[in-house]
Amino acid sequence: MEDCKNLANCSFFKKYEQEEWLHDALKGYVNLYCKGKKQDHCIRKKVSKVLGGPEHVPVNMKPNGQPIIGTTDADWSDEVKKIIS
């Protein structure tokens, strides 16, 4: 399977790639979603598609639709929450 075309610019990885303590988790998401069998099930991709672009996807949303550890979904729009519910 080809890598997700958003991988080089995915705001989620851009924001958290410098966090050393998250490296293993991020690597796991890349292997499972961005380069792997769950790529078509990425919730970030789904939200981007429905709302018309990656700029509408909360940065702290993991590919599985959950906020990354240490953050919450409190700032996510109702539209986003509806899509992922």
Which residues form the interface with ligand SF4 (CB under 6 A)? 4, 6-7, 10, 12, 33-34, 39, 42, 44-45, 63
Kindly state the smallest distance separating residue 42's Cβ from ligand SF4, in Å. Answer: 3
34 or 80: CB nearest ligand SF4: 34
Minimum CB distance to ligand SF4, residue 38 (Å): 8
Structure tokens at 44: 């970030």
41: tokens are 């099930």
- Residue 20 CB, shortest distance to ligand SF4, in Å, is 20
Give CA–CA dist 35/60, Å, rounded.
20
Give whichever of 15 and 81 is closer to ligand SF4, judged by the CB atom. Answer: 15
Q: How far is CA 17 from CA 1, 29, 40, 43, 77, in A?
A: 23, 12, 22, 19, 24
Whole-Å CA distances, 85 to 14, 23, 27, 79:
25, 28, 26, 10
Nearer to ligand SF4, 45 or 68 (CB): 45
